[in-house]
Amino acid sequence: MRDISCRLLVIGAGPGGYVCAIRAGQLGIDTVVVEAKKLGGTCLNVGCIPSKALIHAADEYARVAHFASGDSPHGISLTAPRFDLGRTMQWKDGVVGRLTGGVSALLKKANVKIVEGWARFLDGKTVDVETEIGTQVIRAEQVVIATGSNPVELPALPFGGPVISSTEALALTAVPRRLVVVGAGYIGLELGTAFAKMGAAVSVIEALPRILPQYDAELTRPVAERLRALGITVLTGAKAKELTAAKDGLVVERSDNEAVTIEADRILVAVGRRPATDGWDLEAIDLDMDGPFIDVDDRCRTSMRGVYAIGDVTGEPMLAHRASAQGEMVAEIVAGKRRAWDRVCIPAICFTDPEVVVAGLTPEAARAANIEIVTDAFPFRANGRAMTLVSDAGFIRMVARADDHLLLGIQGVGAGISELSAAFSLAIEMGARLEDVAGTIFAHPTLSEGMLEAALKTLGQPIHI
């Protein structure tokens, strides 16, 4: 097989790598992308997209099941609906297929060469790739490592049998009767909630004292209330110990140190993700590390000249849109443009019920950084649109600098609030002040009016409360 020489080699075609490769190709850079599994990476194949598809299907089913219970405030009733997870998975796979096919077409349109196989470093500018037809050597002037991340395995609960990761959970074709979720981070809660809505009896085990421990208690309270209403058992301060001998349950050490057994058909371990740094001879290039992650500077440059790293392999927040933004930046740097990481805000969303959005600094984080702030929140129970949607739990909260009211953060929790994340980020990224938001006309009746009211309330001038 003839060696390939190129100007830019991208290893991994997740949202970091494929965006980098497309932009590089558009900029006229001779680019090769290597992908061992499927174009689109974790995000399109076993992450963001399939999980949101499943959450949507579960929401739809829960809605009609609620109508069937005869308890609908809208006056809608119907007879018992049925849920066919196998069919849902086929539909989800169709959505994934359309998106990954789109990535392939976009890469080709940008004249990017795609090599399928597992890449290993020979030196900082050379890899060999195990392809189906033999070993392909690729030499590049510059290399981007975009190998992503993998689910963390618990030593006492290795994946296999009833113990599954999010990847297997997103491929189940039957709803487990009893599901235990280990880890109450966003992935565990999103999937746990979806399966509960599909009819599974769900228990969530979390070692820390509360769910979604990376967010403040105020933001996560409505989610905890909804989990209770859905009949999900949440054990916080509890540790998953081991499978029962018959592999039909999980032994858990509760916060009072008592060991209990929770019967389960499936145990979803969602305790985090670790950077994918194994199996591609990272040792051959001996890069500086930042803990388990590849250390990068504000241009995503590693400690080796001409070698960049982007996305989950470079650390938190491990989010698709951060990976893509880094990828786009690196492509432009390789093309000779002056770029550096200057983003103020990387929004994060939990697609729980209700959804949680965190953009910029929370009050806690701002105070920890010794910034004097003003902060206040507007509840959706005072928002007309939320009432018409029969989901008025939650609020929007503003965090601004006390002296000049520059917005430092906007957070919220509420049904459908994920779509407001763009407005939150835009305001922060553009350096808006509370007065700028308060001086903007928000269309009525929308949930986004909560953003206007939150700004007004933080200024001490609320209208609707």
Ligand X SMILES: Cc1cc2nc3c(=O)[nH]c(=O)nc-3n(C[C@H](O)[C@H](O)[C@H](O)COP(=O)(O)OP(=O)(O)OC[C@H]3O[C@@H](n4cnc5c(N)ncnc54)[C@H](O)[C@@H]3O)c2cc1C
Q: Which is nearer to ligand X, 16 or 379 (CB)?
A: 16
Q: In angstroms, rounded to a whole number, what is the distance separating the alpha carbons of residues 55 and 44? A: 15
Tell me which residues in 335-394 interact with ligand X (CB under 6 A).
Answer: 351
Cα–Cα distance measured from residue 312 to residue 35, given in angstroms and rounded to the nearest whole number = 16
Among positions 263-302, residues that touch ligand X (CB under 6 A) are: 276, 280
**269 vs 373, beta carbon nearer ligand X:** 269
Which of 163, 175, 285, 312 forms a contact with ligand X (CB under 6 A)? 312
| Residue 169: closest CA among 190, 146, 145, 144 | 190
**Closest to ligand X by CB, 146 or 227:** 146
Q: Which of 23, 25, 29, 42 binds ligand X (CB under 6 A)?
A: 42
Cβ atoms within 10 Å, residue 419: 13
Instruction: Please pick, among 321, 405, 444, 464, the residue that the annotation labels catalytic.
Output: 444
Least distance from C-beta 273 to ligand X, angstroms? 6
CA distances from 64 to 57, 90, 191, 207 (A): 11, 21, 19, 34
> Between 136 and 166, whose beta carbon lies closer to ligand X?
166
Would you call 444 a catalytic residue per the annotation? yes
CA atoms of 377 and 450, how far apart (whole Å): 9
Residue choice 43, 62, 232, 285 for contact with ligand X (CB under 6 A): 43
Rounded CA separation 56/246 (Å): 34
424 touches ligand X by CB under 6 A: no
Residue from 10, 32, 48, 386 in contact with ligand X (CB under 6 A): 48
Interacting span for ligand X (CB under 6 A) from 133-141, 171-179, 218-226, 319-327: 319-327
Distance of CA 218 to the CA centre of its chain: 21
Which residues from 137-176 bind ligand X, rule CB under 6 A?
A: 146-149, 166
CB of 185 to ligand X, least distance (A): 10
Structure tokens at 37: 């599994």
| Sole binder of ligand X in the list 8, 34, 201, 459 (CB under 6 A) | 34
Bond preceding residue 222 cis, omega within 30 of 0:
no
Site for ligand X in 170-229 (CB under 6 A): 187
Binder of ligand X out of 323, 330, 359, 432 (CB under 6 A): 323
27 versus 114: smaller Cβ distance to ligand X: 114
Q: Which is nearer to ligand X, 173 or 461 (CB)?
A: 173
Residues 6 or more apart from 119 whose CB is under 8 A from it? 11, 34, 36, 127, 128, 129, 138, 280
Total residues at the site for ligand X (CB under 6 A)?
35
Question: In the structure encoding, which two tokens stand for residue 260, read together?
Answer: 């209990």
Comparing CA positions, the residue from 282, 308, 337, 239 lying closest to residue 26 is: 337
Distance CA 216, CA 372 (A): 18
Of 74-82, 300-308, 316-324, 359-367, the segment contacting ligand X by CB under 6 A is 316-324
Can you say whether the dihedral through the CA atoms of 312, 430, 336, 30 is positive or negative? positive
Question: Per the structure block, which two tokens stand in for 187?
Answer: 């992935």
Phi/psi at 145 (5° precision): -90, 120
Nearer to ligand X, 356 or 452 (CB): 356
Which one among 51, 104, 136, 220 touches ligand X, defined by CB under 6 A?
Answer: 51
**If binding is defined by CB under 6 A, does position 37 make contact with ligand X?**
yes
Smaller CB distance to ligand X: residue 36 or 271?
A: 36
Out of 318, 345, 393, 423, point to the residue binding ligand X (CB under 6 A): 318
For ligand X, which stretch binds (CB under 6 A), given 34-42, 88-96, 103-111, 421-429? 34-42
Q: Which of 164, 320, 447, 451 binds ligand X (CB under 6 A)?
A: 320
Q: Which residue is it, tokens 């769900």?
A: 202
Determine the Cα–Cα distance for residues 404 and 416; give it in Å rounded to an integer.
Answer: 31
185 within 8 A of 212, measured Cβ to Cβ: yes
Position among 35, 328, 355, 449 found at the interface with ligand X (CB under 6 A) = 35
- Asked if 12 touches ligand X (CB under 6 A), the answer is yes
Got the DSSP string for 12-73? --STTHHHHHHHHHHTT--EEEEESS-TTHHHHHHSHHHHHHHHHHHHHHHHHHHHHTT--T
Residues belonging to the active site: 444
Binding site residues, ligand X, CB under 6 A: 11-17, 34-37, 41-43, 47-48, 51, 118-119, 146-149, 166, 187, 276, 280, 311-312, 318-321, 323, 351
